[in-house]
């Protein structure tokens, strides 16, 4: 853990999934992290990470905690990162009506597109912003991006398919960057989407 270099606070939706690992990565890149479970905690953060987990269970919990409308408003303009299930919730075209689609990024996807739990795998991928240095990505019941809009920028691919993308305020990955030692994805989120002038080393 390094000394904090920014007064910004990033929340991590802490209803399900590896939210503690995201929180650890946030502190490591130099920003305040805060677990978010209700509307007041959400209103106190400058950006948000929606972690991986099980998208239908996460949908039920979001509704149970009365977070559907507050999240829908937050993701319209605030910096947000969604990983795996978080990507599913942020997309606008999902292959089931049992999952909330906040429509924050113009992506059509298939849940578990790379297979079920037993089909989980890891692979070295190239991120557009790491000067060719490989990133070891873990794909666990990963969704598959089938199509994206013109305003969506692909930042990483695996076997020719986009696995990381962004628009103006939303960053999404089909893999789990919080389960690796690399801070590259979290640092990109902080530098490029959260901070305007200040950059983290």
Catalytic positions, written as ranges: 84, 176, 178
* CA separation, residue 153 to residues 31, 107, 170, 172 (Å): 25, 11, 10, 10
CA 89 to chain centre: 10
Q: Assess contact for 157 and 99: CB atoms under 8 A.
A: no
Closest CA to 31 of 6, 2, 51: 6
Q: Can you tell me whether residue 191 is helix, strand or coil?
A: helix
Count CB-CB contacts under 10 A for residue 78.
Answer: 18
């Amino acid at each position: 853990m390094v000394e904090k270099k920014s007064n910004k606070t990033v929340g991590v939706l802490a209803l399900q999934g590896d939210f503690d690992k995201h929180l650890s990565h946030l502190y490591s890149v130099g920003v305040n992290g805060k677990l978010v479970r209700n509307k007041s905690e959400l209103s106190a953060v400058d950006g948000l990470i929606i972690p991986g987990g099980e998208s239908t269970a996460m949908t039920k919990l979001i509704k149970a905690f009365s977070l559907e409308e507050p999240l829908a408003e937050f993701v319209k303009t605030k910096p947000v990162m969604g990983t795996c299930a978080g990507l599913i919730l942020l997309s606008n075209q999902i292959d089931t009506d049992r999952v909330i689609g906040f429509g924050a990024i113009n992506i059509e996807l298939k849940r578990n597109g790379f297979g079920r739990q037993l089909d989980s795998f890891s692979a070295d991928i190239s991120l557009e912003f790491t000067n060719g240095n490989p990133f070891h990505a873990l794909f666990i019941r990963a969704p598959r991006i089938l199509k994206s809009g013109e305003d969506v920028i692909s930042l990483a691919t695996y076997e020719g398919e986009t696995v990381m993308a962004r628009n103006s305020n939303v960053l999404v990955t089909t893999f789990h960057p919080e389960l690796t030692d690399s801070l590259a994805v979290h640092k990109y989120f902080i530098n490029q989407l959260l901070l305007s002038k200040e950059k983290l080393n």
